[in-house]
Structure 1
Amino acid sequence: MMIALVDPRDTRWEVESPVYRVYFWHRPAGEPASGQEQMMWHCHEWRLTEAADVHEVLAWANGPEGRGRVFELFVEASHSDGLALLRLAGSTSDRERRRC
């Protein structure tokens, strides 16, 4: 991790009430001899609006809805090419997954 001071005047816009997405990942249960390590990951994708802040979203994702599942957390951002997702938490680097 690299850390540096910034000039807060370098940004052009701010979103007061961001939209978040939480992707819960899981592997479907397989037959005992099915080679579950070869099975694809599945995900349930949720879009959260009107959250107080990212702490509220993390509490929801880590709460009963998450049921201990692995998740990724994104915030939506508008871009000239369309909608973009900015990753806030989670990673796919250690697992082979495909978007739902």
Structure 2
Amino acid sequence: MKAKTVDPRDQTMEVDDPVYRVYFWEEGGGAKEEWELSEGDLDEVLDWIPTRSLGRSHRLWAVIRAPQAVTLIRLRGVDLDTDQWPTWAQAVR
């Protein structure tokens, strides 16, 4: 992980009502169960995940919607549907 100080004046947008997506995987990379969560903060989402995971792996995303586009920002976990894991995750894979 890298950390650096920032100038907060560079931001152009702020979202006060975040939306999250959580994907759960069956053991062995099988079927996914996908949820979208809103009207809660990150701590509530992190508390909710174990209540639904049933021991399954999960991936957590923040959702940004724009006209004709949905962008997901990975917050936790890796994409089990791909063989191209991020560099940081390859060491622990």
Q: Normalised by the size of structure 1, how large is the TM-score? A: 0.73
Amino acid at match of 1:61: I
In structure 1, the residue matched to 2:33 is: 44
Q: How far apart, CA to CA, are the structure 1 residues paired with 2:68 and 2:78?
A: 24
Cα distance, 1:82 vs structure 2? 1.1
1:55 corresponds, among 40, 43, 65, to 43
Instruction: For residue 53 of structure 2, give the secondary structure of its aligned residue in structure 1.
Output: coil
Instruction: For residue 56 of structure 1, give the secondary structure of its aligned residue in structure 2.
Output: helix
The structure with higher relative contact order (CA 8 Å, sep 6+) is: 1
In structure 2, the residue matched to 1:16 is: 16
CA distances 1:4-57 after superposition (whole Å, capped 9, x unpaired) = 000111110111011100001113xxxxxxxxx6xx521000011101x11110
| 1:78–1:26 CA distance, 2 compared to 1 (3 A) | same
Instruction: For residue 60 of structure 1, give the secondary structure of its aligned residue in structure 2.
Output: helix
Amino acid at match of 2:75: L
Query: Unpaired segments of 5 or more residues in structure 1?
Result: 28-36
Kindly name which structure, 1 or 2, has the bigger radius of gyration based on alpha carbons: 1
Q: How far apart, CA to CA, are the structure 1 residues paired with 2:67 and 2:2?
A: 28
Query: Unpaired segments of 5 or more residues in structure 2?
Result: 83-93
Q: How far apart, CA to CA, are the structure 2 residues paired with 1:2 and 1:50?
A: 31
Counterpart mapping for 1:70-89 below 5 A = 70-79=57-66, 82-89=69-76
CA RMSD of aligned residues (A): 1.9
Q: How far apart, CA to CA, are the structure 1 residues paired with 2:32 and 2:44?
A: 21
Structure with greater helix share of residues: 2
Q: Normalised by the size of structure 2, how large is the TM-score? A: 0.78
Over the matched positions of the two proteins, sequence identity in percent amounts to 39
